[in-house]
Amino acid sequence: MSFMLESALTLLFAVSMVSMISMIWKSRPVMAMLPLLVACLAALPLPGLSQPPPALPALNIDIAETSVSGISSGGFMSVQFQVAHSAIVKGAGVIAGGPYFCSQNNVVSATTQCSCTLDPAHLVCNVSPTSADVPALALATRGFAAKDLIDNPDNLARQRVFIFAGGKDEVVPSAVAAQLADYYQRFSVPAQNISKTLLPNAGHTMPTVAYGNGCAITDSPYIGKCHFDGAKEILGWIYGPLQAPRKGAPTGRFVKFDQTPYLPKTIFSWLTGMDTTGWVYIPTACAGGGACRLHIALHGCEQGQDYLPLKSPPGGGLYYGTTFVRHAGYVAWADTNNIVVLFPQAVSIPGLNPNGCWDWWGYTGENYANKKGVQISAIRAMVNQITSGRQ
């Protein structure tokens, strides 16, 4: 099934849904739903006007030098990828995330016990120091390993982990991060390998030195001026002392690549929750064949490139775009430290995943947290490709 046909079917579905809603809500004419139709039309490729995005390159990267980090749903997904493929992961950075399999395939648990996202007023939030039930999660982890659904979790003991929580984060409260540390300790991750940072004045945000909202604000773009360089701390904790960023703009290049080769070949591939394209930043030395390392940076909910925020992102435009890719802080450090940064992109699914979150509660199926999960397996396939040029 061609991408054009799939896109046409997606648009037809959107039009059908709008018409159905209009018939049910007779006071809401189809014309009032035009923004949705415009968004769907904008997503369609236009033959002859643009070239298809390139494939991921094969670079000189040791797969054992792979690390992962993320914020919010990207934080939960970074833990899922780290545990599922612990044999190749060197370390992880988790911002506003929680322990592996926290939701236990239950959206209510995800939104009331692992986070406070079920209702804006948090009236039914049950997050507590024990709400994630870490003993049960550790037991489930061992069970998945016994079925070969994840790598041996004993691999976690050699990894380095950076955990960040905001003291004013009411979306994923700091109690969840504390339970994440407990989870790692149950798999013998040495205390000296775990860095825990609680920034009292931080909301639900990716902490940077000087980009985004005020640090305490929990709002789009979910990047905050915290006078704290989260990306630097993550990369430095995992890989060791870093070379300072160069003066002026980074000299590497951003590449928008085709994600579809890593997704299931079905007419319903849009139900994977993954966008058709992603981004990768390649330092000049890495593009020239130098030995490099790989970091996977996962955005949070409402931060994917094709998410339609209620207000324009700081750079303007209709979509969120490359706000996270360019401003989360990874690129400046990656550029001078021979670290390729892979930015996979998730996308909204009406009714299932409206905010474009990574799947950490099961909207893509019961295997969402293991190696059979569509998102985890897609990201692993990207890793395989980009590290396939090792010399």
CA 323 to chain centre: 14
CA 130 to chain centre: 25
Read off the tokens for 144.
């998945």
- Dihedrals phi, psi of 359, to nearest 5 degrees: -85, 110
Read off the tokens for 2.
């061609």
For residue 221, is the peptide bond before it cis, meaning its omega torsion is within 30 degrees of 0?
A: yes
- Dihedrals phi, psi of 68, to nearest 5 degrees: -150, 145
The answer to whether 81 and 89 are in contact (CB under 8 A) is: yes
How far does the chain reach from its first CA to its final CA, in angstroms? 36
Read off the tokens for 35.
């923004």
Candidates 61, 106, 41, 101; CA nearest to 77 is 101
Beta-carbon contacts of residue 133 (< 8 Å; ≥ 6 apart): 104, 113
Bridge partners of 68, per DSSP, are 92, 296
Q: Which residues are catalytic?
A: 72, 169, 204
Q: DSSP letter string over 139-198?
A: HHHHHHHHTTSS--GGGGGG-EEEEEEETT-SSS-HHHHHHHHHHHHTTT--GGGEEEEE
The answer to whether 197 and 164 are in contact (CB under 8 A) is: yes
Candidates 182, 214, 6, 3; CA nearest to 102 is 182
What is the rounded (10 degree) CA torsion for 41, 280, 58, 69? -120
Read off the tokens for 117.
């996202």
The answer to whether 159 and 91 are in contact (CB under 8 A) is: yes
**Calpha distance 200→49 (Å, rounded):** 49
